[in-house]
Amino acid sequence: MGVKSKAAAAILVLLLFLGSLWLQGGLDYHWDSCIKGYNQVNKLHQLSNSSGADGAEGSQLLEGCPGQTFQVSLLLSHLLAAPAYTSDVLLQPYLSSWDELVKFMDALGPMVGLISKEIESKTSIIRQLALLAEENPEAELGPDIHSINSGSTEVGTKKDLGASQHTGAYHSVRSMIWVELNRGVVDFHHQTDSGCRTLLRLHRALLWLQLFLEKLAETPVAGRLRSPSELCREAYQSTLANHHTWFVRRAAELAFIAMPERGFFFRLVCVQNQDELSTVLNRVVRAIGEVYNRTQRALEENGMLDLP
């Protein structure tokens, strides 16, 4: 596909997106953020440089990648910090992981960057709710975190988490579910801006990114590597597309056409070849999997997988 037709597709997608819904929430796109996304991508192309990544399986964290806004090492450390107790997920590192994933999406071009704007609005809804809960602690039905995470063997770690964590209601996925259910703010029939409903939207998008990264990490035994845009579309079709209207599906699939080639992803995470990319991405995919599975179980146990 030539540059001109890519541009034409991009403009079409932009128009489609402006009038549609992404994660079934209100879209609030701004032209300036769109232009910012475009400039950022251009800058990333210029800054691209590959300094060898460590990639060693044993080392706990990855090295930083100079010249990139998105840092895969930061993403991994946030993801690894999120699981807590036996089956819970801490919201602060969960949302920080999303901050990094938003930078990842922004790097993939202005069209995917538009999707990330919607993600950002979701993370800020939960952050707002957490702030409100902290400001009005008297209004809070403070749950006993230990009863929520019953069976926990890590009782001692709670105090060590420090004051930087959200406390109370929005400390973790399970505490949020517990508090919102008790306050009656989760509506199972109508659309609301509850934390649970918002989390579900993020949760669904996380599965899409997990699958995309998993596919990007695959090295076929025979045959050639497939294009990221094809893999991203495939990942979308088997995940998020199930929750989208026909209109949003068409727009999303167009957005993936303009996705960068594989070499771009090498530079984005500072690796030289597909083997190194697989090593890095597989670690990220496993970390996402742990977070995703825990969130999935918490939502499922509370019948929240279909919140409108």
For residues 210-249, which are near ligand NAG according to CB under 6 A?
none
Asked whether position 86 contacts ligand NAG by CB under 6 A, the answer is no
Which of 26, 66, 263, 308 is in the footprint of ligand NAG by CB under 6 A? 66
Question: Least distance in Å: CB of 291 to ligand NAG?
Answer: 8
Q: What's the min distance (Å) between Cβ of 295 and ligand NAG?
A: 11
- Judge whether 52 and 132 are in contact, CB under 8 Å: no
* Six token digits for residue 241: 């597309």
Binding residue (CB under 6 A) for ligand NAG from 293, 300, 303, 308: 293
- Binds ligand NAG by CB under 6 A, chosen from 49, 157, 191, 242: 49
CA angle 295, 301, 305 (to 5 degrees): 65
Q: In the stretch 122-141, what mask flags binding to ligand NAG with x, by CB under 6 A?
A: --------------------
Closest by CA position to 306, among listed 243, 249, 238: 243
Contact window for ligand NAG (CB under 6 A) among 108-116, 135-143, 225-233, 285-293 = 285-293
User: Which of 209, 134, 127, 125 has the alpha carbon at shortest distance from 167?
Assistant: 134
266-209-149 Cα angle (round to 5): 125
Residue nearest to ligand NAG (CB): 289
Closest CA to 65 of 80, 79, 57, 75: 75
x/- letters, 250..269, toward ligand NAG (CB under 6 A): --------------------
Q: How many residues bind ligand NAG (CB under 6 A)?
A: 8
The verdict on 51 binding ligand NAG (CB under 6 A) reads yes
The answer to whether residue 286 forms part of the interface with ligand NAG (CB under 6 A) is yes
63 binds ligand NAG (CB under 6 A): no
Q: In angstroms, give the least distance from the CB of 292 to ligand NAG.
A: 7
Residue 273 contacts ligand NAG per CB under 6 A: no
What is the smallest separation between the CB atom of 171 and ligand NAG, expressed in angstroms?
Answer: 22
Interface with ligand NAG (CB under 6 A): 49, 51, 66-67, 286, 289-290, 293
